[in-house]
Amino acid sequence: MQFKDKVVIVTGASSGIGREVALAFSRKGARVVVNGRDRDRIDAVVTEIRANGNVAVGVPANVSKKNDAAGLVESALDAFGQIDVLVNNAGGSRGSRSVADLLEDDWDQVVADNLKSVFLCSQAALPALKRQKSGKIVNVASQAGRAQSVLAGPHYAAAKAGVIGFTKQLAKELAEFGINVNAVAPGIVRSGPRVEAMWDSFSPEFQARFISDIPLGRLGENHEVASAVLFLASDGASYLVGATLDVNGGRWMI
């Protein structure tokens, strides 16, 4: 898979899965637009990409806000004149609570970060993608949206299920323009300190039971999700439309 001179936007790319996705695209020759909310962490990823002789720009934006999402797309077009791939990776959670204990503000924030952001960034990119009559959108969902959340709670599960549904709807609308829309649904991945801390909060007995349900016998790694994202953004996935690729070691099969 080569992406030489392709322009790729990766939201939530300052750490974890998003960072690895941005680095993976850059290693394949893409010009990468690195998005996040923390300027210092964005700059660190951009510096790493450039140190390897590749091209990247950083654009801080809260993509759950309409103006920020539009500004991100505008910045990409100003820098490179085109958009070939949009990876909607931004998201996160506010901890795991039962439905009975979940706060309305937490629900609203998690749904905005994980689902509304996908809608806003996709909508902002549509004019450019339609003009080109080509492009790829890859949305990062979750195994939680397939079944239920182990670590992140009902608000996260609902938002990620929404991402899967939105992926199908958007894919249906954009196929006629030569634009492929698909998603990946990772299981629990060692994506960074936040997930590691949540995982470590469980007892060794719970962890052992959970791992025993994964046929591969381990948690996932960032690079394994990134590989799936790059595949869906490649010419090799040209006949995939509205699909969700499960990257979970076999724990959830459908």
Convert 84-111 to b/e letters by CB count within 10 Å (16 or more is b).
bbbbbbbbebbebbeeeebeeebbebbb
**Cβ atoms of 141 and 88 closer than 8 Å:** no
Identify the DSSP state of 116.
I
Q: Which two tokens stand for residue 187?
A: 């299981």
**Cβ atoms of 155 and 98 closer than 8 Å:** no
Residues ≥6 apart with Cβ < 8 Å to 145: 157, 159, 160, 161, 162, 163, 164, 185
For the question of residue 156 being annotated catalytic, the response is yes
The amino acid present at 1, given as its one-letter code, is M
Identify the DSSP state of 243.
-
Q: Which of 27, 84, 91 is nearest to 56 (CA)?
A: 27
The region that residue 188 occupies, defined by phi over 0 for left and psi between -120 and 50 for alpha, beta otherwise, is: beta
Catalytic residue among 80, 107, 119, 156: 156
CA 53 to chain centre: 25
CA 115 to chain centre: 11
What residues are annotated to the active site?
156
